[in-house]
């Protein structure tokens, strides 16, 4: 029984009905934090406070909040054509968006399948891998490899691949045939700017060991986030991704990069694959695809995967029995096209690359604080780890709330703050975010 007063519009029990995701519902409803407006780098909370966004929401909005270009494009689309079934019908916006996305990806990732979220992109990638191997006469490849401390969303496919205990322990019935490699955070190189130097090949050789144990010819695909995002910006050591690629090639295994966070400029290149010079066979994305304005995700595959799957069926047949009612929704495509146009016309990926050194120095300035145990940065993304208070995660949760009331939003996972400002940020915005984090660290118990 909690009331909420938003500009005088109080309704009894108005918070009770919504069961909120990944939220301490009881605690939240006692002390809610509602955003009633977003503009550029700032949110406005329901009490009228200004809150700077230190995490581009959830890494979704590199062009800042409430961009009028996107709102106008979506509004125009909804007036023109609000929905077209995506099965055996189409509309122009999806083809334009697929061309734009393919144009940002390295060759030969030229075919794009649209979905509605990052989690759906993972399920779709799993099914594309199965469909490809079946069409290619390798239907015995039914095993998948992922990594500890991975986050691949919350659908059963993503949870099966995930390496975060809280996301798994309640749901033990997941996909069989998934084996995990070690995560890439060794703790040997704390306060690391960019890629750690040590152990890259050694850690990647976990995949080779799985090939020796299970048979490389039984493995369909390996899923990795090029930089593990949700578990705190875990940057792969030098040589790691290259060695994973090499082992995949040697055994005919598909390499899937989950670029739901790293896609669309977060690391200062269009995709992480370009930054690291390693091209996957399949790339998943979501979040910044529409600047966070409309739910949408996508899976890009290299030409040979598309051609193998489509050529395996008779000409007039459906080739891939998969898709969502809202795949390539016209409003989402309009939002995606408008967002990608903003990124292009404002050269925002270059701007992210230019801003990254300033951002890194600003984040690293926090290393002198007693509570800070590590800081990792790459591009416009950083993980700031805070000592736990005896109960892992408790201090992080409290800090996230205090920080909000100090006027800054940052996403926390456990005791790690994941700071990832929008690319439209000015240096003064970065200073403001870091100052507010320092103030909050000073107040932390």
Kindly state the smallest distance separating residue 48's Cβ from ligand PLP, in Å: 29
Give whichever of 52 and 286 is closer to ligand PLP, judged by the CB atom.
286
Token pair belonging to 198: 């040590």
Positions touching ligand PLP (CB under 6 A) are 117-119, 122, 151-153, 225, 229-230, 258, 260-261, 286
Kindly state the smallest distance separating residue 290's Cβ from ligand PLP, in Å: 11
Using CA atoms, how far apart are residues 87 and 328, in angstroms rounded to an integer?
A: 10
- Distances, alpha carbon 32 to alpha carbons 3, 14, 172, 209, in Å: 10, 11, 32, 48
Kindly state the smallest distance separating residue 117's Cβ from ligand PLP, in Å: 4
Give whichever of 279 and 290 is closer to ligand PLP, judged by the CB atom.
290
Kindly state the smallest distance separating residue 264's Cβ from ligand PLP, in Å: 13
Give whichever of 259 and 385 is closer to ligand PLP, judged by the CB atom.
259
Kindly state the smallest distance separating residue 229's Cβ from ligand PLP, in Å: 5
Residue 394 C-alpha from the chain's centroid: 24
Give start and end residues of each alpha helix (H) in 238-393.
240-251, 272-276, 303-311, 330-345, 348-364
172 HSE (CA, 13 A, CB side): 0
- Distances, alpha carbon 429 to alpha carbons 53, 199, 283, 418, in Å: 9, 36, 32, 16
Using CA atoms, how far apart are residues 289 and 32, in angstroms rounded to an integer?
A: 29
3-state DSSP call for residue 64?
coil
Kindly state the smallest distance separating residue 21's Cβ from ligand PLP, in Å: 9
Using CA atoms, how far apart are residues 318 and 368, in angstroms rounded to an integer?
A: 60
Give whichever of 151 and 412 is closer to ligand PLP, judged by the CB atom.
151
Q: Which residue number has the CB closest to ligand PLP?
A: 118
- Cis peptide bond upstream of 223, omega within 30: no
Using CA atoms, how far apart are residues 365 and 367, in angstroms rounded to an integer?
A: 6
Which residues, at least 6 apart from 169, have a Cβ–Cβ distance to it below 8 Å?
A: none
Kindly state the smallest distance separating residue 122's Cβ from ligand PLP, in Å: 6
């Amino acid at each position: 029984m909690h009331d909420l007063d938003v500009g005088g519009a109080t309704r009894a029990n108005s918070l009770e009905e919504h069961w909120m995701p990944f939220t301490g519902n009881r605690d939240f409803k006692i002390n809610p934090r509602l955003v009633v407006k977003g503009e550029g780098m700032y949110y406005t909370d329901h009490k009228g406070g200004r809150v700077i966004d230190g995490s581009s929401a959830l890494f979704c909005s590199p062009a800042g909040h409430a961009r009028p270009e996107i709102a106008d494009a979506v509004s125009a689309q909804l007036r023109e054509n609000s929905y077209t079934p995506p099965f055996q019908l189409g509309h122009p916006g999806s083809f334009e968006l697929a061309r734009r996305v393919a144009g940002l990806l390295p060759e030969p990732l030229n075919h794009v399948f649209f979905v509605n979220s990052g989690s759906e992109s993972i399920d779709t990638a799993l099914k594309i891998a199965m469909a490809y191997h079946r069409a290619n006469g390798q239907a015995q490849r039914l095993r998948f490899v992922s990594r500890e401390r991975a986050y691949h969303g919350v659908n059963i496919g993503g949870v099966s691949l995930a390496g975060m205990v809280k996301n798994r322990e309640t749901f033990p019935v997941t996909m069989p045939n998934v084996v995990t490699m070690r995560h890439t955070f060794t703790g040997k190189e704390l306060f690391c700017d960019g890629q750690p130097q040590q152990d890259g090949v050694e850690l990647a050789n976990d995949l080779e060991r799985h090939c020796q144990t299970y048979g490389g010819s039984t493995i369909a695909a390996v899923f990795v986030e090029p930089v593990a995002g949700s578990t705190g910006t875990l940057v792969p050591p030098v040589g790691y991704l290259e060695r994973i690629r090499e082992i995949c090639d040697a055994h005919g295994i598909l390499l899937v990069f989950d670029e739901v966070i790293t896609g669309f400029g977060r690391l200062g290149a269009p995709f992480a694959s370009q930054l690291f010079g390693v091209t996957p066979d399949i790339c998943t994305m979501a979040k910044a695809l529409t600047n966070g304005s409309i739910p949408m995700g996508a899976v890009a595959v290299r030409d040979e995967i598309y051609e193998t799957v489509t050529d395996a069926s008779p000409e007039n047949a459906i080739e891939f029995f998969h898709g969502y009612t809202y795949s390539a929704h016209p409003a989402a495509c309009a939002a995606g096209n408008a967002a990608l146009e903003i990124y292009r016309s404002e050269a925002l990926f270059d701007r992210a690359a230019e801003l990254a050194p300033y951002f890194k120095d600003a984040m690293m300035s926090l290393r002198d604080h007693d509570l800070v145990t590590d800081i990792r940065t790459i591009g416009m993304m950083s993980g700031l780890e805070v000592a736990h208070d005896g109960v892992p995660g408790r201090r992080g949760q409290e800090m996230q709330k205090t920080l909000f009331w100090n006027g800054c939003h940052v996403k926390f996972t456990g005791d790690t703050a994941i700071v990832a400002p929008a690319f439209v940020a000015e240096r003064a915005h970065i200073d403001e975010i870091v100052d507010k984090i320092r103030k909050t660290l000073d107040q932390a118990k």
